[in-house]
Structure 1
Amino acid sequence: MASDSRNSSVLLWGITAALVAAVVIFFAYQWLFATSNEKLPEYQDINAQSVSPAKKSAVPASVEQPPVATEEETIKLVEEDLLKAPVPENASLAKEEIARMDDLQAQLKDQEKMLKQQHADADELIKLKEEQLKLLEAQLAQN
């Protein structure tokens, strides 16, 4: 009986060690191949910080505040090196580049449309606030 309990303990430790070794090998494999993929260029999503129309409509118009951007805080949409980069000579690479540029252009147009809408909403909010102030001043004058 004592031999069985000792062997089961050794077996349990062996299984645990094998599992730990498998996990360590898995993470080492992931780490090695993740560092080799860092050389690929990463494309940023321009609309990552923008608010989707569904989320925007959920916020009441009286609560929404338009963001105020100064020259220092403006976001650079297109890098200068992107404009000066040569077009690839390979036809398939050129088509991919054109598709990527078309996608970027569509994103910029969507962002422009959204910003114009936000600007119009901000102008309307300003008009409503001015009317509200006039009404409050009239109430104060009557009292």
Structure 2
Amino acid sequence: MSPVQHNNPKLLWGITAGLVAIIAIFALYQWIFASQEPETPPHQTELLQPTVKAIPEVQNAASKAAAENTVKLVEEDILTSPVPKNSSLAKEEVAKLDDIQTQLKEQETTLQAQHKDADELMKLKEEQIKLLEAQLATQ
């Protein structure tokens, strides 16, 4: 570029206007397509809503702390709900129940492992206390 072109205000205004136009077109494009997002059909909103609810509080303090982090996997009304007439819906329901069953089994094994670890920690703490008591008695 020659020095005359380098300091030309018309050129600077042209470049600025071009950049502003590009940004405006991009913003308009985003605004138009964001407003035209397809809405979820009503029959699919039931599938998207979470079906798990928190379990009620337990009276035991130790269980209460553990219950705060758990969720209820099975609804009580599942026993009284009618079986779907459509075979594909019935298959989906069976698959859903199988998933819930596997989650419950995994949760059971996790809880058993935690219980075992807690018992082992209690034993180790008791041994540690006995050793500390013996050490204090010798001093």
Q: How does the TM-score come out when normalised to structure 1?
A: 0.67
CA contact (8 A) 2:74 2:100 kept: no
2:23 to 16, 21, 33: 16
| Structure 1 residues 78 and 138: CA distance shift in structure 2, 3 A | same
Q: Report the Cα offset of residue 27 of structure 1.
A: 2.0
Runs of 4+ in structure 1 off by over 6 angstroms are none
Alignment-derived partner of residue 49 in structure 1: none
Give the Cα separation in 2 of the matches to 1:110 and 1:141: 46
1:28 to 35, 39, 53: 35
1:133 lines up with 2:129 in the alignment? yes
In structure 1, the residue corresponding to 2:64 is in which secondary structure? coil
| Structure 1 residues 106 and 123: CA distance shift in structure 2, 3 A | same
Larger Rg: 2
Single out whichever of 36-45 and 8-17 deviates more from structure 2: 36-45
Q: Report the Cα offset of residue 87 of structure 1.
A: 1.6
Alignment-derived partner of residue 77 in structure 1: 73
CA contact (8 A) 2:83 2:90 kept: yes
Q: Report the Cα offset of residue 19 of structure 1.
A: 1.0
Count of paired positions: 121
Q: Report the Cα offset of residue 114 of structure 1.
A: 0.8
Single out whichever of 76-85 and 127-136 deviates more from structure 2: 76-85
Percent of paired sites with the same residue: 46
RMSD: 3.2
Give the Cα separation in 2 of the matches to 1:131 and 1:122: 14
Q: How does the TM-score come out when normalised to structure 2?
A: 0.69
1:119 lines up with 2:115 in the alignment? yes
Structure 1 residues 106-141: Cα deviation after superposition (integer angstroms, max 9, x where no partner): 110011011011001101110110011011101111
Alignment-derived partner of residue 41 in structure 1: 47
1:68 lines up with 2:74 in the alignment? no
In structure 2, runs of 5+ residues without a counterpart are 1-7, 53-60
In structure 1, runs of 5+ residues without a counterpart are 47-66
